[in-house]
Chain A
């Protein structure tokens, strides 16, 4: 009987999911407050247990590894899960079948945890689907909403095709290696399977699956529709947690395929000469950040804008994987944490506005500074941070990530990424100019002041405060990020 210690967080979430199901059955018809509290408690305890757990590089049941990286991702996903539930307690997602909604969030997070710990291709695929299926349902939960239905349908179709492609890629890989274990894969890599054309095909097919999950161009088409069709908090959940888990799994696979560090860049420093998988990731990165930002320029609806922005951010994060060094990976983890607070804050505040205005168009944000100046300032800070301006957290994440990219000699790639940040300024500032009186057209409707409920105040303050604080003091967080990623890249 192996040590079950590493599995405790997952077990706790499963228990919480069952408890939610049970209490929801008992309290049918009422607002599911008790199940919500249970779900939050489940996330918090699971997160705390994972936080306190000693990392262990041993493989449990031959399929899972609760090392520092896996535990960090567990904490991360539990945090997002808890915050998402908090953010939706006032929203309409909660009024429709609230119990099921909580259950789906719990199940998806459970899948994410397994995904980020799995070191076996079959488990990885199963966890992948455990994340995907609840996500499809979450998007389509508002059954009477046509947009939500359409989004859900698109999501399912794209998801089915890309996970089929991924499964095919995985099967090729298993055929080559003769085992489903990632450790076996890394041994096989040293025996030279990387040179076989079939391996390249497997890499491209696998990349398609991951690219879908993290919404990288050209597998991103679902994202704007899905984020726009889903309730804002669910959009935030998918943009943050689902993506992060996809990145974690991709990092696991890359760690097996790529032996140790990648060589210093030669020449202009666009793409690595090295492993084919990284070149594929590099192309995805360049496409994602460039097209994500370019398409975001034309958006006028906040959730669509954030969707395209999250595609661009996926591009920045993929850069870190392309360059594949200790420092870019630590930068990636830091960036993910920054990304968590910025995006959850953006989606949460967008949700508060949409709930009152009934629309997420830029016109709904007009005059927000008059209605509630704190909400406007908070959203402006988030927008500045997403652009990557100091002294906010987004800048710090970018700085550390790009520092690693430059350190490896990928100067052209780094400069391209930084210039993309300049492009993104334009559309993020569109939100800011809408909220503050940058133009005269308002005044016909005297903006009435909004009184925010305490929960909204706490939520927005709680999400924006880290964006400011970690932007000014991030030393401990950086040490933590380095420690977390230490074991990922072999020597």
Chain B
């Protein structure tokens, strides 16, 4: 069933190719619905969350021991759900793409296959292949359907992520050599039992750093984040949604699934450094967001700031902090998708994104205003919405950590600035006197049904995740305690 889920988009892709171009968008949406249904069925078929289930294993490249090995546990499942859901909303948001729709939707579906594959691959090589396959459609989607500086943004995105991937690849090769297997669960088990997973004489600390950088480029963690504002600003709205909603989560997932469990000692050893760059990301990202006049760029920097909590939670290493980090990935996935859609909606009408040139939109487009302020408050951490839970849990967890308590205090500045830039933007764009141009309903209609169909489901999930976090947290609760005990043992090992 998992294979079917992964390859269903490929079937959709072939249909897009075979049928007339005008059907492509419908095929894309239908395929996304089907994928979401399949992921929900996978969820329904799971017994407990801790073990790997729906395992599919077959020899792929027997000569070097590479297997087609896919499976899900709670950690994978929560991100699969996010992927399928955000991708569906992005597919609906793509309905209005007019330039070469066939090519667009084919690449979109290829991207979906890559994303789903990354979260279920349990073979290091397979993981890497999916990780890289995604780059190709993303490169074309930004480069061909993006804004005026798309050529620059797309190659920058490609170069940054490939540089990260290459370091990751070097790390994976070394692990394969030491552990003599490509299987992720087997390597994790070896690392847990204290066996060496690297060839003799290779410093695990350096390999961890290589892998960390590889994943950190995707997260993106300061100072590897500079590709993100460019890519986001130039990408078409639905692709920005996917980029922020799903792609960034792959970095965090890679850290949690691979880098941390493989090298807990090295991770514990670097935790202060990671906490420092996380705090910089949170605070600096927020300050830079505050300084933006481009609406979309502001949202992009807010992503940098929020994703800092993911690495911060991992650096703190307590179960609560890791829980918060994971929750941040899920919460940010839906909220940032909303935010980019909100920018997209106004850009479609005004054809610019300059925050200072808006004003008074609230009365012209009340439904839009309602959802926009909902997303803003969710992102700045209003209690009752998912962003709050994520930040709060990470904070509590970080306070509990003896070594990184300072980081919790330091990142408070980021929270304050986050509130500042959202409130200021809210005021500048939506409040104040409504200029006459916005009264023109033919140019500034309120949300269309299609736009509402993108935003409302995202908002509902955000609300639900804010009221009842247990739904999502129960999926991966086991993982946070496991990783905590692994890191604790590693820290003790470091001290002795």
Residues of A within 8 A of B (CB): 384, 387, 389-391, 395, 399-400, 402-403, 406-407, 409, 411, 414-415, 418-419, 421-422, 425-426, 429, 433, 436-440, 473-476, 478-479, 482
Contacts and interface: CB of A to CB of B under 8 A. Distances in A.
A478 B151 contact: no
Given A389-B135, A438-B143, A473 B155 contact: no
Contact of B61 (A395, A409, A478): A478
In the complex, the 4 A-B pairs of residues with the closest C-beta atoms, listed nearest first: A475-B63, A478-B63, A418-B166, A390-B129
Contacts of A433: 143, 151, 154-155
Nearest to A439: B151
17 contacts: A387-B162, A391-B129, A399-B169, A406-B170, A406-B174, A411-B174, A411-B202, A421-B166, A425-B158, A426-B155, A433-B143, A433-B155, A437-B144, A473-B60, A473-B61, A474-B61, A476-B63
Contacts of B33: none
A406 B174 CA distance: 7
B136 interface: yes
B61 A438 contact: no
Contacts of B129: 390-391
B62 A390 contact: no
A422 B163 contact: yes
Given A418-B166, A422-B162, A406 B177 contact: yes
B170 A426 contact: no
B128 interface: yes
A482 B64 CA distance: 11
Contacts of A426: 155, 159
A399 B176 CA distance: 12
A291 to B, nearest CB: 19
B128 A390 contact: yes
A400 B133 CA distance: 19
Given A422-B162, A438-B151, A473-B60, 13 more contacts: A389-B136, A389-B162, A390-B128, A402-B173, A403-B176, A406-B170, A415-B166, A425-B159, A429-B139, A429-B155, A433-B151, A436-B144, A478-B64
Interface string B175-208: 0110000000000000000000001011000000
Contacts of A399: 169, 173
B170 A438 contact: no
A429 B169 CA distance: 21
B202 to A, nearest CB: 7
The size class of the interface chain B forms with chain A is: 35 or more
Nearest to B62: A475
A390 B132 contact: yes
B224 interface: no
A395 to B, nearest CB: 8
A297 B174 CA distance: 30
B71 to A, nearest CB: 21
A403 B173 contact: yes
Contact of B166 (A406, A411, A422, A475): A422
B202 A407 contact: no
B133 A390 contact: yes
Contacts of B132: 389-391, 395
Nearest to A373: B103
Contact of A438 (B136, B150, B201): B150
A409 B104 CA distance: 44
Nearest to B99: A437
Interface in B143-175: 143-144, 148, 150-151, 154-155, 158-159, 162-163, 166-167, 169-170, 173-174
A436 B143 contact: yes
A407 B177 contact: yes
B478 interface: no
A436 B140 contact: yes
B150 to A, nearest CB: 7
A415 B173 CA distance: 11
Given A429-B158, A433-B155, A391 B133 contact: yes
Nearest to B64: A478
Nearest to B170: A415
A440 B199 CA distance: 51
A418 B171 CA distance: 12
B476 to A, nearest CB: 28
Nearest to A421: B166
Nearest to A433: B151
A338 to B, nearest CB: 15
Contacts of A402: 173
Contacts of B202: 411
Contacts of B62: 475
B146 to A, nearest CB: 9
Contacts of B140: 436
A443 B201 CA distance: 58
Nearest to B100: A437
Nearest to B66: A475
B90 to A, nearest CB: 22
Nearest to B149: A439
Contact of B173 (A389, A406, A478): A406
A402 to B, nearest CB: 7
Contacts of A407: 177, 199
Contacts of B173: 399, 402-403, 406, 414
A426 B174 CA distance: 27
B144 A438 contact: yes
A440 B150 CA distance: 10
Given A390-B129, A406-B170, A425 B162 contact: yes
Nearest to B169: A418
A210 to B, nearest CB: 28
Given A390-B133, A391-B129, A422 B61 contact: no
A425 B161 CA distance: 11
Nearest to B202: A411
B63 A409 contact: no
B159 A419 contact: no
Contacts of A419: 163, 166
Of the candidates A390, A391, A409, A414, the one having the most CB atoms from chain B within 10 angstroms of its own CB is A390
A52 B60 CA distance: 28
Contacts of A400: 64
A402 B166 CA distance: 12
A395 B166 CA distance: 11
A415 B162 CA distance: 13
Contacts of A421: 162, 166
Contacts of B159: 422, 425-426
Given A438-B150, A475-B61, A479-B63, A418 B170 contact: yes
A7 B60 CA distance: 38
Contacts of A482: 63
Contacts of B177: 403, 406-407
A409 B201 contact: yes
A411 B148 CA distance: 41
Contacts of B150: 438-439
